């Protein structure tokens, strides 16, 4: 099985060298993580590149990397920021593959988007392949339903899935604007095919838009006809793709009960990629930007259990020491692919640029770019 980047899933361990796995020679030495000069080297390389360089960092990145980001943000903010920097020749994206693809789609042809480690994919994005989605669409056409279906894909999907949505009258959404994107979609059709995160789709439809669980069905790409009967498809308003985040999907309703029993008065704050039963039990739900803003404005002395990626939760606990901030479930770990981007890879990418070598450039072909941009622009134009 391969990931969106075409790499076998088993290379995700930190010790694997993604370049040799791909059969591509690493054009230069990857500095050892133990090199005490790495911070200084990154600073020097950044200074040498000056305004030619723009570094974007997703909130789930390691501290050692995020310190070099010119802008930090959630997927939505970073997509906007990438589009707003036409003067930067190089955009180094400290995040995962689908984010770098989106940045390439939204930037001009002269700008180069670089992902410091090509093995930084996303298991959720890998759960919806183009062929599977095409097969699903053909089944909807055969059932005479495709005309009423608007495809909406979460940002966490490959460029060709975004392009599929653009071509078929649909849009992209992020966790910050899923509700608005679904309102937009239901103004245009009676049903939505929501890709690839079933949890974000279900949580938005049921908790924000007042639909019932019966309005939602789950399309399983590994079963004939998605494992659904024609009647189930006919009745459904939300056709949810059977995909999930392998980090957020691990928080459980029991972890919410457990923290409530241990910490009286605790506020539970989770990301909408969490399972429906977890979100139902939480006090607040929102994207990573929303989580940060909620904690920023929380009163001193308040207690919070946060269900999102661990790098961010640790950083928030350090940033707001006047609040008691803990991780919702101690058995859930970091996003291993976000963590692929470490200081050695960042230094390697930046120093390569300084000597005129563009490494790990992410490029999306012209036709895919065109249609994916249609879907992304529909999202960016949402009120
Ligand atoms: P946001 O950045 O949109 O909140 O998404 C979280 C996530 O899982 C990114 O991979
Ligand atoms: Fe993908 Fe989840 Fe990691 Fe985000 S946190 S990159 S959705 S696996």
Is 15 labelled as part of a ligand binding site? no
Residue 137's pLDDT is: 98
Cα angle at 351 between 349 and 357, to 5 degrees? 75
Query: How far apart, in whole angstroms, are the C-alpha atoms of residue 247 and residue 307?
Result: 10
Residue 27's pLDDT is: 55
Residue 102's pLDDT is: 94
* Same fold yes or no, 38-121+338-364 and 248-327: yes
* CATH number for region 125-246: 3.40.50
Closest CA to 157 of 379, 381, 382: 379
- Give, using CA atoms, the residue closest to atom 7 of ligand 2: 245
Domain at 38-121+338-364, CATH from 3.30.450.20, 3.30.70.1290, 3.40.50.10800, 3.10.20.600: 3.40.50.10800
Is the separation of the CB atoms in 136 and 108 below 8 Å? no
CATH class in words for 248-327: alpha beta
> What is the CB < 6 Å shell around ligand 2?
60, 96, 122-124, 156, 245-248, 309, 335, 337-338
Q: Where are the domains of the chain?
A: 38-121+338-364, 125-246, 248-327
Structure-block tokens of residue 95: 């995040």
Structure-block tokens of residue 26: 């690493």
Query: How far apart, in whole angstroms, are the C-alpha atoms of residue 154 and residue 197?
Result: 7
Is 123 labelled as part of a ligand binding site? no
Is 220 labelled as part of a ligand binding site? no
- What is the Cα gyration radius of the chain? 21
Closest CA to 205 of 238, 241, 239, 181: 238
Q: How far is the CA of 108 from the centre of ligand 1 (A)?
A: 24
Question: Which residues of the chain are modeled with pLDDT < 50?
Answer: 1-25
Is the separation of the CB atoms in 345 and 16 below 8 Å? no
Closest CA to 317 of 333, 297, 303: 303
Residues 6+ apart with CB under 8 A from 195: 128, 133, 151, 152, 153, 154, 157, 161, 165, 241, 243
* C-alpha distances in Å from residue 342, one per residue of 20, 98, 128: 18, 18, 27
Residue 322's pLDDT is: 97
Query: How far apart, in whole angstroms, are the C-alpha atoms of residue 348 and residue 38?
Result: 10
Structure-block tokens of residue 52: 């030619």
| H-assigned helices in the chain | 18-21, 38-49, 63-66, 75-83, 97-106, 130-142, 159-167, 178-186, 198-202, 230-235, 253-262, 276-281, 288-296, 310-319, 343-354, 366-380
Residue 26's pLDDT is: 52
């Amino acid at each position: 099985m391969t990931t969106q980047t075409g790499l076998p899933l088993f290379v995700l361990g930190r010790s694997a060298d993604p370049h040799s796995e791909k059969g591509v020679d690493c054009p230069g030495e990857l500095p050892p993580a133990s090199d005490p000069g790495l911070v200084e080297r990154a600073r020097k390389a950044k200074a040498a590149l000056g305004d030619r360089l723009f570094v974007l960092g997703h909130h789930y990145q390691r501290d050692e990397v995020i310190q070099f980001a010119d802008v930090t943000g959630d997927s939505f903010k970073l997509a906007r920021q990438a589009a707003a920097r036409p003067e930067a020749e190089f955009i180094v994206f400290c995040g995962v593959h689908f984010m770098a693809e989106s940045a390439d789609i939204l930037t001009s042809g002269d700008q180069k988007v670089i992902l410091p480690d090509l093995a930084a994919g996303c298991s959720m994005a890998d759960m919806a392949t183009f062929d599977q989605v095409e097969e699903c669409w053909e089944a909807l056409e055969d059932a005479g339903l495709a005309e009423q279906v608007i495809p909406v894909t979460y940002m966490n999907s490959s460029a060709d899935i975004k392009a599929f949505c653009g071509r078929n009258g649909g849009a992209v959404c992020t966790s910050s604007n899923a509700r608005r994107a679904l309102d937009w979609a239901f103004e245009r059709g009676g049903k939505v095919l929501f890709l690839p995160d079933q949890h974000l789709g279900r949580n938005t439809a049921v908790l924000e838009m007042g639909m019932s669980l019966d309005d939602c069905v789950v399309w399983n790409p590994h079963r004939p006809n998605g494992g659904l009967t024609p009647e189930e498809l006919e009745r459904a308003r939300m056709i949810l793709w059977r995909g999930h985040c392998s980090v957020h999907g691990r928080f459980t309703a029991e972890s919410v009960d457990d923290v409530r029993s241990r910490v009286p008065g605790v506020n539970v704050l989770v990301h909408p990629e969490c399972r429906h039963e977890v979100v139902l039990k939480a006090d607040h739900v929102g994207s990573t930007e929303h989580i940060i803003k909620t904690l920023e404005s929380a009163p001193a002395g308040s207690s919070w259990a946060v269900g999102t990626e661990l790098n961010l939760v640790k950083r928030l606990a350090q940033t707001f020491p006047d609040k008691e901030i803990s991780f919702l479930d101690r058995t859930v770990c970091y996003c291993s692919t976000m963590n692929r981007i470490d200081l050695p890879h960042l230094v390697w990418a930046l120093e390569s640029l300084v000597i005129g070598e563009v490494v790990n450039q992410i490029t999306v072909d012209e036709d895919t770019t065109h249609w994916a941009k249609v879907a992304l622009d529909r999202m960016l134009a949402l009120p």
